[in-house]
Chain A
Amino acid sequence: KAGVTQTPRYLIKTRGQQVTLSCSPISGHRSVSWYQQTPGQGLQFLFEYFSETQRNKGNFPGRFSGRQFSNSRSEMNVSTLELGDSALYLCASRETGGSSYEQYFGPGTRLTVT
């Protein structure tokens, strides 16, 4: 099976702009989670989607939003970008209803806000 893919891999945006990141999970995985990784804060959970519904949410402002489509692909949107949003954004998918439980991560999207 193909792994988790994320597009784009690198992105440079200006403060105030908005950005959309995309994640395609492993085939058959219905849970998709998003994380923000920065040197200072480490790996922080943004939200999880399962069957097109947000199931869990981390402690991020409303500028961060997401959605999941019927094919389990997910997008994450950040509006009104701030310098502090510069980070590696990781997507992870997980099989639900099975017995493996672990998350499989994509390579990430490196977002730089100038």
Chain B
Amino acid sequence: AQSVTQLDSQVPVFEEAPVELRCNYSSSVSVYLFWYVQYPNQGLQLLLKYLSGSTLVKGINGFEAEFNKSQTSFHLRKPSVHISDTAEYFCAVLYNNNDMRFGAGTRLTVKP
């Protein structure tokens, strides 16, 4: 069965430090990859996506992610986080154009 694994449920980090949120997925011929962010009491907002082309994709709010096909990973990174980045982050994979799977989420807490 297709699955998406976010390896860390919680990531605490100090302001201005770099952060990496990890995501692995079960392999398939056709995958499209996404990262979403959810702020308290809101829906999910798209941060970035990988459909094809360059394996390094840049998104909103200074985030970027790298698609690694051999390791079936799509880790999210930001070189310097802000307090406002505190939120829950979800990795998602669209399998075969119609089966969207989400990871369990990673709660990023940025401390002053």
Contacts and interface: CB of A to CB of B under 8 A. Distances in A.
Interface of A: 4, 33, 35, 42-43, 45, 48, 55-56, 90, 92, 94, 99, 101-108, 110
Contact of B49 (A33, A56, A102, A106): A102
B43 A106 contact: yes
Interface string B39-50: 001111110010
A43 B100 contact: no
Given A101-B94, A102-B34, A105-B45, A42 B51 contact: no
B43 A105 contact: yes
Contacts, number: 48
A42 B90 CA distance: 10
B46 A102 contact: yes
Q: Chain B interface mostly helix, strand, loop or mixed? A: strand
A4 B42 CA distance: 12
Contacts of B49: 101-102
Given A45-B100, A101-B49, A101-B51, 7 more contacts: A42-B105, A56-B99, A101-B32, A103-B44, A105-B45, A106-B43, A107-B41
B98 interface: yes
Interface residues of B, number: 22
Contacts of B105: 42-43
B42 A107 contact: yes
Contacts of B42: 107-108
A48 B8 CA distance: 28
Contacts of B90: 43
